[in-house]
């Protein structure tokens, strides 16, 4: 009997003992092709020699620097690399140990920004349904993953309210053009600002590409500029959560590069350290930093393990490999191959309603009926069935239910490492095809 409290008490997951490149080896001798890097984490695959060397060296040289006293070379170098050229006006980085901690830091910094500039009345955040920003109570309050929120509803903060996501497959009306749908969403955000009192709103928070909650949902062209315009009109900040979709996953280092907007605060995590160490962070616009600099002079927040040197050394090595090996180009090329392969294999599958995503961040949404887009009975746990069928064929993919509203809908995410080659992509599609056919006979 395992004494670890696993995600389920009904069974213990298989024990992973070793991993290299695109493969994970289990204690029972099975080898699994890693088709999702966990939840889009392992962006360089496993045991990348340059990353392993960098983090081992840092652990041996100087494992921990208490940030109340010291900074460290890897933390400084990582911030310098990420902010080289001040992308989108982002000038500073703050490193923590997870995506949820990143969200907490973003929320607190946004609130502090308005204290610094003399607008203490701003106390409200607007976020979106069917998005996710983390599992700590603040981040969960900002999230719209109804399944994860439900048990903790009474503990969540009423500083947060939720508007609709931009999710065309599910929520654009049949008669509506893309432009009209975007306009409707911008009007909804404006109405929410008015309901709260525009002078009370701190920020609008959104995942640039929605990750696990709805399955790689990209916004329609013009959506983010329209949302940014509403924020700008009322002097509120834009917080983009790129924990899952950022750091190259969609083919550009930042997913917002493909959206025509820049955030005031950006949350990063999974692809930052690629799973080699727990690390997340926020990237911060110069104007936010300037407000702190000319105000209190410090960020009123902190964690024992912030900017951890070994974590920063691992992330620095990951980010260097992405740049030095030209991996963004591979994400684009392999992303196209993945998309084409998924379309070919599932484009006519009676139970695949939508194939979506960008770069090496793709999802299949399953439906009981393609013409009505009716989802399966949630009790069937179709997403789990596909996951299990894939695992038994030696493929790991990331499943989730509640795609539509936290209860209805099923999808799986395919998000292999940026080092994936054509053979890996083809093997993922082959095994996923067999798994879907087994779980959902055509
Ligand atoms: C978009 C997004 N934000 C935040 C988080 C929270 O990150 P973590 O699980 O590292 O706390 C996640 C994790 O899945 C995520 O996908």
Pocket residue to mutate for ligand 1, from 140, 207, 243, 246, most atoms within 8 A of Cβ: 243
Closest ligand 1 atom to 212 CA: 16
Residue 394 contacts residue 428 (beta carbons within 8 Å): no
Task: Give the pLDDT confidence score for residue 442 in this predicted structure.
Answer: 62
Atom of ligand 1 nearest to the CA of 101: 11
Nearest CA to ligand 1 atom 7: 99
**Which atom of ligand 1 lies at the shortest distance from residue 99's CA?**
7
CB neighbourhood size of 62 (10 A):
15
| Res 145: pLDDT | 83
pTM for the full predicted model = 0.98
CA of 169 to the centre of ligand 1 (A): 23
Q: What is the DSSP letter of 113?
A: H
Please calculate the CA angle 137-365-338 and round it to the nearest 5 degrees: 105
SS3 396: strand
* pLDDT tens, position by position, 71-99: 999 999 999 999 999 999 999 999 999 99
If we measure between CA atoms, which residue out of 3, 5, 28 comes closest to residue 15?
A: 28
**Residue 441 — very low, low, confident or very high, per pLDDT cuts 50/70/90?**
confident
Q: Over the chain, what is the mean pLDDT? A: 97
Percent of the chain residues topping a pLDDT of 90 = 96
Percent of the chain with pLDDT over 70: 100
Q: Half-sphere exposure (CA, 13 Å, Cβ side) for 270? A: 26
Give the number of the atom of ligand 1 that is nearest the alpha carbon of residue 100.
Answer: 11
Torsions phi, psi of 329, nearest 5? -65, -35
CA 204 to CA 355: how far, in whole Å?
A: 28
Nearest atom, ligand 1, residue 245 CA: 1
> Is any atom of ligand 1 closer than 6 Å to the C-beta of 144?
no
User: What average pLDDT does the segment 277-285 reach?
Assistant: 98
- Predicted confidence at residue 387, as pLDDT, reads 98
134 lines ligand 1 (CB under 6 A): yes
pLDDT digits (tens, 9 = 90+) for 187-224: 999 999 999 999 999 999 999 999 999 999 999 999 99
Q: Residue written as tokens 């160490």?
A: 277
CB 408 within 8 A of CB 17: no
pLDDT at res. 226: 98
Q: What is the best residue among 7, 205, 211, 305 to mutate for testing ligand 1's pocket, by most ligand atoms within 8 Å of CB?
A: 211
Task: Render pLDDT for 182-195 as a digit per residue (tens, 0 to 9).
Answer: 999 999 999 999 99
Q: Hey, which of 39, 42, 106, 132 would you mutate to test ligand 1's pocket, going by the most ligand atoms within 8 Å of its Cβ?
A: 132
* Token representation of residue 302: 């902190």
Ligand 1 atom 13 nearest Cα: 134
Mean pLDDT, range 109-128, rounded to an integer = 98
- CA dihedral angle for residue 148, residue 150, residue 151, residue 153, rounded to 10 degrees: 110
pLDDT in tens, 295-342: 999 999 999 999 999 999 999 999 999 999 999 999 999 999 999 999
Distance 319 CA to ligand 1 centre (A): 19
- The residue ranges of DSSP E strands in 158-304, in sequence order, are 160-163, 201-207, 209-210, 217-218, 237-242, 265-268, 280-285
**What are 13-44's pLDDT values in tens digits?**
999 999 999 999 999 999 999 999 999 999 99
pLDDT digits (tens, 9 = 90+) for 362-408: 999 999 999 999 999 999 999 999 999 999 999 999 999 999 999 99
Q: Name the residue of 107, 134, 137, 138 whose CB sits within 8 Å of the most ligand 1 atoms, as the mutation to test its pocket.
A: 134
Residues in the chain, total: 442
pLDDT of residue 423: 98
**Phi, then psi, of 124 in degrees rounded to 5:** -115, 145
Atom of ligand 1 nearest to the CA of 278: 10
Residue 209 Cα to ligand 1 midpoint, Å, equals: 13
Tell me the CA–centroid distance for residue 175 and ligand 1, in Å: 35
Segment 268-279, tens digit of pLDDT: 999 999 999 999
40, HSE (Cβ side, Cα atoms, 13 Å): 33
Whole-angstrom distance, CA of residue 32 vs CA of residue 392: 9
């Amino acid at each position: 009997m395992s004494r670890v409290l696993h995600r389920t008490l009904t069974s213990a997951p298989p024990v992973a003992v070793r991993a290299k490149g695109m493969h994970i080896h289990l204690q029972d001798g099975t080898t699994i092709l890693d088709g999702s890097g966990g939840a889009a984490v392992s962006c360089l695959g496993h045991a990348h020699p340059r990353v392993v060397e960098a983090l081992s060296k840092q652990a041996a040289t100087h494992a921990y620097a208490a940030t109340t006293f010291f900074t460290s070379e890897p933390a400084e170098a990582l911030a310098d690399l990420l902010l080289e050229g001040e992308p989108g006006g982002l000038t500073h980085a703050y490193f923590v140990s997870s995506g949820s901690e990143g969200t907490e830091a973003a929320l607190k910094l946004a609130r502090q920004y308005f204290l610094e500039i003399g607008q203490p009345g701003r106390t409200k955040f607007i976020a979106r349904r069917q998005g996710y920003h983390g599992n700590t109570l603040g981040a969960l309050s900002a999230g719209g993953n109804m399944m994860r929120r439900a048990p903790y509803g009474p503990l969540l903060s009423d500083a947060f309210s939720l508007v609709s996501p931009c999710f065309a497959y599910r929520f654009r009306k049949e008669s509506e053009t893309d432009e009209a749908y975007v306009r409707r969403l911008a009007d909804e955000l404006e109405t929410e600002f008015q309901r709260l009192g525009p002078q009370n709103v701190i920020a609008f928070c959104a995942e640039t590409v929605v990750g696990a909650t709805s399955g790689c949902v990209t916004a329609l062209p013009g959506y983010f500029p329209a949302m940014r315009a509403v924020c700008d009109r009322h002097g509120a900040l834009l917080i983009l959560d790129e924990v899952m979709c950022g750091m190259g996953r969609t083919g550009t280092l930042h997913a917002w590069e493909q959206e025509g907007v820049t955030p005031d605060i950006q949350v990063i995590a999974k692809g930052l350290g690629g799973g080699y160490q727990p690390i997340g962070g926020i990237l911060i616009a110069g104007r936010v930093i300037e407000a702190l600099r000319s105000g209190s002079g410090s960020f009123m927040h902190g964690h024992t393990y912030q900017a951890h040197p070994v974590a920063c050394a691992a992330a620095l090595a990951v980010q260097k490999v992405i740049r030095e090996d030209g991996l963004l180009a591979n994400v684009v090329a392999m992303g196209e191959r993945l998309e084409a392969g998924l379309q070919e294999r599932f484009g006519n599958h009676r139970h695949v309603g939508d194939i979506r995503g960008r770069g090496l961040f793709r999802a299949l949404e399953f439906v009981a009926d393609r013409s009505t887009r009716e989802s399966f009975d949630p009790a069937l746990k179709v997403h789990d069935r596909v996951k299990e069928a894939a695992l038994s064929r030696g493929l790991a993919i990331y499943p989730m239910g509640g795609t539509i509203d936290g209860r209805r809908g099923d999808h799986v995410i395919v998000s292999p490492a940026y080092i994936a080659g054509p053979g890996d992509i083809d093997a993922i599609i082959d095994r996923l095809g067999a798994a879907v056919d087994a779980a959902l006979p055509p």
